[in-house]
Structure 1
Amino acid sequence: MSLEEKNLPFDEYVYNDKWRSRTIDVKTYWEYHKRSIENLEEFWASIARELEWFRPWDRVLDASNPPFYKWFVGGELNLSYLAVDRHVKTWRKNKLALIWEGEPVDQAGYPTDRRKLTYYDLWREVNRAACMLHCNFGIKKGDRVTLYMPMIPELPIAMYAAWRIGAITNVVFSGFSADALADRINDSQSRLVITADGFWRRGKVVRLKEVVDKALEKAPSVENVIVYRRLGLNDVPMTEGRDWFWDRAMAGVPHNAYVEPERLESTHPSYILYTSGTTGKPKGIVHDTGGWAVHIYATMKWVFDLKDDDIYWCTADIGWVTGHSYIVLGPMLMGATEVMYEGAPDFPQPDRWWAIIERYGVTVLYTSPTAIRTFMRFGEEWPRKHDLSTLRIIHSVGEPINPEAWRWAYRNLGYQNVAFGSTWWMTETGGIVISHAPGLYLVPMKPGTNGPPLPGFEVDVVDENGNPVPPGVKGYLVIKKPYPGMLHTIWGDPERYVKTFWSRFPGVFYAGDYAIKDRDGYIWVLGRADEVIKVAGHRLGTYELESALISHPTVAEAAVIGIPDPIKGEVPMAFVVLKQGVAGTDELRKELRQHIRNTVGPIAEPGQIYFVTKLPKTRSGKIMRRLLRAVATGAPLGDVTTLEDETSVEEAKKAYEELKKEVS
């Protein structure tokens, strides 16, 4: 048995009575999957025909210039039309499209800011915003518009409006710094920025306009700034002739304004989304219009199985790709009702999310493993305060989910009566690639796995030479054939696109992740291949060690880093958050080190374990391991603008220094 195999429940199947009639065995699923790959173009064309096109395509796939593949060439459509117009023409016109809840609550814990928009409401607001952008500011097809906004309805409204007139959106996460914002504006050469005066986060005001002003000192391409009054601040700095409040910019736009949706080529770029790599400047990932729409439509059906009476909630931020695909576009393609929340998951108490699920009767939940592990630390009593029985599907996204977190959520959130999957995809793929698919068929679930590749996606795990590895052996995750939602290039840098994704294994897409394929063909993504600790020549993924720690009954969360060692090259160090009521003692520290030896192997034993009450994370829930590495090595922290809670770093420093004194 390989080192990687020891801590993964490859053979722990979970069946669910609710889905029994739609469950198939693994062999039958693979037969269906094989047919989709053998007839790839017709398979995707059959799905594309379910959407409305202004003009049908001439070719399903143009593979004449790999890896610059083009999907549905010659076809014309519009994302704004697909998201709102086509529903207004049906009985869904007055169906609830969006339920928005702000962070502030009253003394009883009830939200004070709530809005509900029907599809007709949304359609009218989108048309007015499109008219404002085009008529008042001259934005046209191909122009780039940067959006630096909080989680408010005006963010998706602005995106639909931009797509309606053929503009290309560049959404920048509202937690990024002025320098990061300036870099993204400059690289995209955006003409216009849309922002807000601020928003609420953990009961505090976060001001945005000042950040934009600082960024624009270095971004000369911007001609105008539109500011939405989320908080109604009276002291917002405004530059005359450049800056406009949203309500004033809309003042002359008729309430019944209508903007004809631009007939866009399928290959027309819909958005640029920048991702930060381990080195170099951020990469502007470019997605098209037609291929992305088909990919998202298909995965919304298969993975989330949305029905007309569902209430869907994706807890991500629109500043990341999950929000683009599965908040802004996907639910609206399906004519769904979705929930959107502005604030922190544990404000004012750790049951805020569970209150939202109960309040609106959420049936489909899409969240992150980090969030689940955070709630595990708070204990089971918080979800027990609420009726979560409406949930029928839960999926996770963002990073691998460890089996213990899967079991906790399955038991405490899903009452052991939901379909529960862990999706794998990335900014570059545009949509989900690997997942359980209850909307298609549900193969037996396994705690911690991502599931099999979805139909139409040929995925494999290979060694250094690009050869498939045996089941249970760690290798590199690759996608062997093009698919509709794939990125088309890196904005302004096609050579970097080829070098980054297509050069490691010529002819196939390299995802940059370690993974294992088990005997049933399920994929277990282990995390980024660059998040690796090399101990005495042995390569250990941080996910493997963190998952092993979390499997101990006292541990809620863990972050593992590698620090230089003169003998071994690197040694693992672990920062551990214990469950409530558990004391961090030297005896427990020894027990956890032995637990790692038993579950992973002696080579993986941490050099030291530090007990903390919280880990440094971004607002989207990603653990910022580089900050912990900086704490342990004495290096500068670097950019901390996306850090959710600065006290988490101070606590890590204190724990490190105190244990260092004890050891010395």
Structure 2
Amino acid sequence: MAQWNPSEEYIENTRLYKWMQKLGYSEYDLFHQQSINDVEWFWRRVEKELGIPWLNHYDRVLDVEKGIQWPKWYVNGKLNAYELALGQWAKDPIMTQKEALIWEGEDGEVRRYTFSSLATEVNKVAAGLKKLDVKRGDVVALYMPMIPETIMALMAVSKIGAIFTPVFSGYGQEAIATRIAASRAKLVITVDSSQRKGKEIMLKDELDKALLNCPEVESVVVVRRTKTKAVQLKEKHIAWEELLSHQPCLEIEPMNSDEPLMLLYTSGTTGKPKGTVHTHSGFPIKAGFDAGICMDLKRQDTLFWYTDMGWMMGPFLVYGGWVNGATIMLYEGSPDFPNADRLWQLIDRYHISHLGISPTLIRSLMRHGDNWLTQKLSSLRVIASTGEPWNDDAWYWLFEKVGKEKIPIFNYTGGTEIAGGILGNVLVRPIKVSMFNAALPGMSAYVADCWGNQMENQVGELVLTKPWVGMTNGFWEQPKRYLKTYWSRWPNMWIHGDWAITDEDGYWKITGRSDDIINVAGKRVGPSEVETILASHHYVHEAGAIGIPDHRKGDALICFAVLQESIEMTNTVKETLLDFLSVKLGKSLRPNDIHFISDLPKTKNGKVMRRLIKNAYLHLKLGDISSIENPNVLDEIAQLKRPGQKNL
């Protein structure tokens, strides 16, 4: 049964329906089928509908000579993501003085920029980067919170043809160093500190520790954000003000459509984080399409996604908003500080039309009760959610208490490698609780059984069978790993790593990850990354990490440690290791618990079996354990007390 049913008038006024009609379609399923039957036809229509400003027009839409794993889009076309997002509006006489960016800090400070004034600042940053010898193809890492300078930096980097890689502002030194070193960044831009729940978070101090393991970084630019504590600028450190002291750079670097724009790092189950490569034509067009056509974002609407630039939805906010000529809003700080209605206040104060949240955020706000929902929220038209699956109680609370049963919840899933969504809630169809009502246009998705065949009403692998604009152009300097991760199971089929199911009406539900990636409140971390850090402590001999279901976070991170023989299993040791991981990974990824065990379950060839750790811990069926060298340890794990479990 659908909870949200659009009227005929509502449907006919959406951008999606108007576009479908222009192309000769009035029924979504037929339109979607055409979008995946003829992908060149579809993505040509997409770029024309978005009005992409080409510097040199392309010869053909798609070339799959190297296979669908390595598609080339908009062949021989030249453009620049800066021009798609900001430059075209700064030069448009109608749009140049329209509001491009609103920012509010947790302390109440507000800054606003028009497309023109923001472009002026970006041009200064671009000139400063050139003076630092940042060239086309160089990588610049951004370890920054959600402040205007972050947007200026990423726009300036792309304007001069360099590549930016945003790093989550909540990461600890180990996670920062891993990503900066993997990208081989030449320059890092950071801030002295950021604000969170009334406290200053010293990002520059954390970066200094990380850079001890990043010898390829040549210089660091520092934005003085809070200015309450003097930050020592070391040798080769440059103040942001100095970067802005040069004559503005007005030239735009013409980029090939398939040249790298951005590296977004995502965690895998083994090895180092994966650097997904996104191009000047890929990420902006996919994000612009999903936000504009699918979520119905229009010129001079205001899009606010509560996120971080280090997660996929940060760049999505920028490109999804600006490709469509909308205003974007940034907020730096906690959504419930100083009071639980801070998020709702922001919506009313800045007339937010499109709000992006995660289910975890809504679950945390629910705990404060309904009394904080006193705002009108009259500007709000669409609420989008991503990051993890919903539980029905939280979905209903958002729909009924916040949206008054009138505002559609655009459930949205895809990811870093997708540059947007695979599934969503298109606004021309009814919406069911916690589900997705369609595969998005251009996304050839289905649920596969263990042989790769399509099936319905059963849980299986979410797969894609056609390329799409926005698809990652491999992993940074790891092409074999990219092929192994997504293309190695069945021929010419992208295995996304999610379990999914469709119902009799064609609605979708994501039931969980089909691999070991741990998703803590929308922040994905690979168990191998956690284990490597934990095992680096001198107390620990070996380590294991799993995610277990958590009603608030999606996954709770649980660690298992085999201590060195000389170390006793005490609460002091446990707290020391928890604090160590908090420092290395960042507080948001602090484990819920660490358990001390005598050994990790391993196969006879030495492979640690995380699946068995998780199943034993949660008292699930273990299956065949004949290959396990030390099965007794599974009984030991099963006896451990789980978070929230009462004593027997």
TM-score (normalised: structure 2)? 0.80
2:103 to 100, 103, 119: 100
Residue 411 of structure 1, CA deviation: 1.0
CA contact (8 A) 1:451 1:524 kept: no
Cα distance in 1 between the residues matched to 2:38 and 2:547: 46
Residue 623 to residue 444, structure 1, CA distance change in 2 (3 Å): closer
Residue 509 of structure 1, CA deviation: 0.7
Cα distance in 1 between the residues matched to 2:379 and 2:641: 44
Residue 167 to residue 575, structure 1, CA distance change in 2 (3 Å): closer
Residue 532 to residue 117, structure 1, CA distance change in 2 (3 Å): closer
Aligned ranges 1:487-506 → 2 under 5 Å = 487-506=472-491
Residue 301 of structure 1, CA deviation: 1.6
Aligned ranges 1:191-206 → 2 under 5 Å = 191-206=186-201
Q: Which residue of 2 aligns with 1:150?
A: 145
Q: Which residue of 2 aligns with 1:138?
A: 133
Cα distance in 1 between the residues matched to 2:517 and 2:47: 40
Cα distance in 1 between the residues matched to 2:364 and 2:494: 33
**What letter is aligned with 1:100?**
W
> Greater CA deviation, 83-92 or 141-150?
83-92
Does 1:311 pair with 2:313? no
Identity of aligned residues (%): 37
Cα offsets for 1:430-464 (capped at 9, x unmatched): 112211223xxx11111111221111111000011
Cα distance in 2 between the residues matched to 1:164 and 1:228: 20
Cα distance in 2 between the residues matched to 1:243 and 1:286: 28
CA contact (8 A) 1:270 1:287 kept: yes
1:626 to 530, 545, 557: 557
**What letter is aligned with 1:239?**
K
Does 1:479 pair with 2:464? yes
1:507 to 466, 470, 492: 492
Does 1:19 pair with 2:39? no
> Greater CA deviation, 641-650 or 121-130?
641-650
Cα offsets for 1:249-279 (capped at 9, x unmatched): 323x13xx23311000000000111111222
1:446 to 409, 432, 435: 432
Residue 521 of structure 1, CA deviation: 2.0
2:170 to 167, 175, 179: 175
Q: Which residue of 2 aligns with 1:431?
A: 420
Does 1:300 pair with 2:291? yes
**What letter is aligned with 1:288?**
T
Q: Which residue of 1 aligns with 2:533?
A: none
CA contact (8 A) 1:296 1:431 kept: yes
CA contact (8 A) 1:628 1:652 kept: yes
Q: Which residue of 2 aligns with 1:585?
A: none
Q: Which residue of 1 aligns with 2:320?
A: 330
Does 1:162 pair with 2:157? yes
Does 1:640 pair with 2:582? yes
Q: Which residue of 1 aligns with 2:634?
A: none
CA contact (8 A) 1:82 1:333 kept: yes
- Secondary structure of 1:626's counterpart equals strand
Aligned ranges 1:417-428 → 2 under 5 Å = 417-428=406-417
CA contact (8 A) 1:147 1:195 kept: yes
- Secondary structure of 1:97's counterpart equals strand
CA contact (8 A) 2:2 2:432 kept: yes
Residue 294 to residue 526, structure 1, CA distance change in 2 (3 Å): same
Cα distance in 2 between the residues matched to 1:221 and 1:152: 26
Cα offsets for 1:379-415 (capped at 9, x unmatched): 11112x2111221111101111223222211111111
1:394 to 379, 383, 390: 383
Q: Which residue of 1 aligns with 2:29?
A: 30
Residue 20 to residue 630, structure 1, CA distance change in 2 (3 Å): farther
1:219 to 204, 211, 214: 214
Does 1:467 pair with 2:449? no
Q: Which residue of 2 aligns with 1:244?
A: 238
Residue 505 of structure 1, CA deviation: 2.2
Q: Which residue of 2 aligns with 1:63?
A: 64
Q: Which residue of 2 aligns with 1:415?
A: 404
Gaps of 5+ in 1: 1-10, 105-110, 534-540, 544-570, 577-614, 616-621
Cα distance in 2 between the residues matched to 1:119 and 1:657: 52
Residue 21 of structure 1, CA deviation: 4.3
Cα distance in 2 between the residues matched to 1:282 and 1:303: 30
Residue 268 to residue 116, structure 1, CA distance change in 2 (3 Å): same
Q: Which residue of 2 aligns with 1:45?
A: 44
CA contact (8 A) 1:210 1:237 kept: no
Residue 86 of structure 1, CA deviation: 0.8
Cα offsets for 1:341-365 (capped at 9, x unmatched): 0001111111110111111121111
Q: Which residue of 1 aligns with 2:542?
A: none
Residue 575 of structure 1, CA deviation: 5.9
Does 1:403 pair with 2:397? no
Residue 217 to residue 523, structure 1, CA distance change in 2 (3 Å): same
Gaps of 5+ in 2: 522-545, 563-568, 597-639
CA contact (8 A) 1:389 1:414 kept: no
Residue 483 to residue 661, structure 1, CA distance change in 2 (3 Å): closer
Cα distance in 2 between the residues matched to 1:427 and 1:487: 8
**What letter is aligned with 1:448?**
S
Cα distance in 2 between the residues matched to 1:643 and 1:28: 47
**What letter is aligned with 1:460?**
Y
CA contact (8 A) 1:146 1:190 kept: yes
Cα offsets for 1:569-600 (capped at 9, x unmatched): xx998766xxxxxxxxxxxxxxxxxxxxxxxx
Aligned ranges 1:258-297 → 2 under 5 Å = 258-297=249-288
Cα distance in 2 between the residues matched to 1:456 and 1:96: 31
Cα distance in 2 between the residues matched to 1:140 and 1:232: 31
Cα offsets for 1:216-249 (capped at 9, x unmatched): 2111111110000001144312212x00110123
- Secondary structure of 1:412's counterpart equals helix
Cα distance in 2 between the residues matched to 1:448 and 1:201: 30
Residue 296 of structure 1, CA deviation: 1.8
Q: Which residue of 2 aligns with 1:231?
A: 226
CA contact (8 A) 2:547 2:556 kept: no
Residue 657 to residue 45, structure 1, CA distance change in 2 (3 Å): closer
Cα distance in 1 between the residues matched to 2:592 and 2:244: 43
Give RMSD over aligned pairs.
3.1
2:368 to 373, 378, 386: 378
CA contact (8 A) 1:368 1:396 kept: yes
CA contact (8 A) 1:532 1:542 kept: no
Cα distance in 2 between the residues matched to 1:506 and 1:525: 23
TM-score (normalised: structure 1)? 0.78
**What letter is aligned with 2:196?**
R
Cα distance in 1 between the residues matched to 2:593 and 2:167: 27
CA contact (8 A) 1:318 1:328 kept: no
Cα distance in 2 between the residues matched to 1:523 and 1:660: 32
Residue 417 of structure 1, CA deviation: 1.2
Cα distance in 1 between the residues matched to 2:405 and 2:128: 49
